[in-house]
């Protein structure tokens, strides 16, 4: 499940792969629309209510993964 | 008593409109979830309303509708296409399958239903078609591309069908931000900003009830029109 999520995040961020320690701001495609897409992904595929405010606090891929999977 | 077919009737706006109109009309509630539909039916005024279970994505809509109308021997006087699906995605991530699904539920479904309702046996009973479009069709916003294209298509249908199906009146609501159970969570977070961007503030479903009544019941000499109901947001 975690690998699958990492793959989906990689696709959204348009990179070959993401690693959990990557800083979100280091991605070229990291912007408000990408954030919105991750919120939509959390909701539709994982039934998790992620908010913009929460996402603003997140620093790394790990923060997103921890929230969505746990 | 006239009959109204309402797609997307278990959506927040669909429900409110259905309950409101059930005081005066026989309602055909349509949606894909039969238990939600039964529950909604029990909230309607009066007893003789009907349920047409149809999944606008998976089912053969035309076949299912024809079978339903013949089985219950009903001929709708009005068709409200509330059914739709809101999706948001950057264009760079848009997948064909998702694009088709959005168009299927927002637009193609309406085309199939109107196609049946405009056949000889139903056409003379049909008086009004109302499509529920969105202000996203008129105003640009990042991530809304496919949704906007689908909702814009309803405006195209409105223009052309008003001529082709004359004297059936075909009009289209172009709706702005309306506070419902479904949108409450998103809108609440941004209510302050939104109220700043919308001269009359966030909308409520009761406005839709009133506009629908106006289209269905008044001599308004109006067809082929898009009614922008957005609290004035688009003039700012």
Contact B154, B106 (CB under 8 A): yes
From first to last of its 236 residues, chain B has per-residue pLDDT tens of 999 999 999 999 999 999 999 999 999 999 999 999 999 999 999 999 999 999 999 999 999 999 999 999 999 999 999 999 998 899 999 999 999 999 999 999 999 999 999 999 999 999 999 999 999 999 999 999 999 999 999 999 999 999 999 999 999 999 999 988 777 766 676 777 877 889 999 999 999 999 999 999 999 999 999 999 999 999 98
Tell whether B235 is covered by a domain. Answer: no
Tell whether B114 is covered by a domain. Answer: yes
User: Which domain covers residue B218, as residue numbers?
Assistant: 3-230
Closest-approach residue (CA) in chain A for B144: A33
Q: Which residues of A touch B (CB under 8 A)?
A: 11-12, 14, 32-34, 36-37, 40, 49, 51-53
Domain-wise residue ranges, chain A: 2-69
Alpha-carbon distance of B68 to B52, in angstroms, equals: 7
Q: Supply the pLDDT for residue B157.
A: 98
Q: Supply the pLDDT for residue B190.
A: 73
CA distance to partner chain B, nearest, from residue A61 (Å): 19
Alpha-carbon distance of B128 to B5, in angstroms, equals: 10
Could you report how far apart the first and last alpha carbons of chain B are, in Å?
Answer: 42
CA distance to partner chain B, nearest, from residue A7 (Å): 14
H-assigned helices in chain B: 12-21, 34-43, 61-72, 96-103, 109-117, 120-123, 145-164, 181-189, 191-197, 205-217
What φ, ψ does residue B138 adopt, rounded to 5°?
-105, -25
Alpha-carbon distance of B147 to B126, in angstroms, equals: 28
What φ, ψ does residue A39 adopt, rounded to 5°?
-60, -45
The continuous run of DSSP H or E covering A52 comes out as helix A52-57
Here the contacts of B213-218 (C-beta below 8 Å, separation 24 or greater) are: B213/B20, B213/B21, B215/B128, B215/B130, B215/B169, B215/B171, B216/B4, B216/B21, B216/B78, B216/B127, B216/B128
From first to last of its 70 residues, chain A has per-residue pLDDT tens of 889 999 999 999 999 999 999 999 999 999 989 999 999 899 989 999 998 889 999 999 999 999 999 7
Tell whether B236 is covered by a domain. Answer: no
Look at chain B and report how many structural domains it folds into: 1
Q: Supply the pLDDT for residue B192.
A: 78
Whether residues A40 and B142 touch (CB distance < 8 A) is answered with: no
Which chain B residues are closer than 8 Å to A14 by Cβ?
92
- Residue B140 near chain A (CB below 8 Å): no
Which chain B residues are closer than 8 Å to A40 by Cβ?
87-89
Closest to B133 (Cα-Cα) out of B114, B113, B107, B111: B107
Q: Supply the pLDDT for residue A52.
A: 87
- CATH code at position B115: 3.40.50.720
Tell whether B161 is covered by a domain. Answer: yes
Fold type of domain A2-69:
1.10.1200
ipTM score for this prediction: 0.80
Tell whether B78 is covered by a domain. Answer: yes
């Amino acid at each position: 499940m975690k690998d699958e999520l990492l793959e989906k995040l990689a696709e959204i961020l348009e990179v070959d792969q993401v690693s959990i320690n990557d800083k979100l701001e280091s991605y070229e495609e990291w912007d408000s629309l990408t954030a919105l897409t991750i919120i939509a992904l959390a909701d539709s595929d994982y039934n998790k209510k992620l908010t913009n405010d929460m996402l603003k606090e997140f620093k790394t891929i790990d923060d997103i993964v921890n929230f969505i999977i746990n | 008593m006239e009959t109204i077919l309402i797609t997307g009737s278990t959506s927040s706006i669909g429900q409110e409109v259905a309950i409101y109109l059930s005081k005066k009309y026989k309602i055909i509630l349509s949606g894909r979830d039969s238990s939600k539909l039964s529950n909604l039916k029990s909230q309607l005024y009066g007893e003789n309303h009907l349920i047409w279970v149809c999944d606008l994505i998976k089912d053969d809509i035309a076949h299912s509708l024809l079978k339903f109308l013949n089985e219950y021997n009903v001929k709708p006087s009005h068709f409200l296409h509330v059914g739709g699906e809101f999706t948001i995605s950057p264009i760079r991530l848009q997948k064909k399958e998702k694009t088709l699904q959005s168009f299927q539920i927002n637009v193609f479904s309406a085309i199939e239903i109107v196609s049946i309702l405009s056949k000889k046996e139903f056409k003379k009973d049909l008086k009004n078609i109302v499509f529920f479009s969105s202000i996203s069709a008129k105003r640009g916003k990042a991530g809304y591309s496919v949704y906007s294209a689908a909702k814009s298509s309803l405006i195209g249908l409105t223009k052309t069908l008003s001529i082709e199906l004359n004297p059936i009146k075909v009009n289209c609501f172009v709706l702005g931000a309306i506070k419902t159970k479904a949108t409450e969570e998103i809108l609440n977070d941004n209510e302050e900003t939104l109220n700043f961007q919308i001269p009359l503030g966030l909308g409520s479903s009761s406005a839709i009830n009133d506009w629908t009544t106006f289209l269905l019941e008044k001599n308004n000499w109006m067809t082929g029109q898009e009614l922008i109901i957005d609290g004035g947001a688009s003039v700012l």
